[in-house]
Amino acid sequence: MVLVVLAVLQRFEQVFTDSKNELATLFTVEDTEHSAFLFQPEVLMIYDQLQKNEYNLRQEWNKHFPEEELERLAIKFAKDICRR
């Protein structure tokens, strides 16, 4: 379990390091229509999965949350996702 947690931490440190300038811009641009998830800690995982594993993210997301919220995040992250 500890190794899994360390691997996850390393992955998201890398995502943050690789994308910190882009992420900084995303969080400084005012957007009155932003998703409720934008300022939650999980947003870094959502960002990463939109880049790497969109299809599986969408499948799991839609089991628990409104699809529109993921679409709002994808728009904010400049990721074009299509309804399937």
pLDDT at position 15: 83
pLDDT at 57 over 50: yes
pLDDT at position 81: 56
Predicted model pTM: 0.72
Q: How far apart are CA 70 and CA 45, in angstroms?
A: 12
Q: What is the CA radius of gyration of the chain?
A: 13
3-state secondary structure the chain: CHHHHHHHHHHHHHHHHHHHHHHHHHHHCCCCCCCCCCCCCCHHHHHHHHHHCHHHHHHHHHHHCCHHHHHHHHHHCCCCCCCC
pLDDT at position 44: 86
pLDDT tens figures, 1-56: 788 888 888 988 888 888 888 877 777 767 777 787 888 888 888 988 998 899 99
Rama region for 42: left / alpha / beta (φ>0; ψ in -120 to 50; rest): alpha
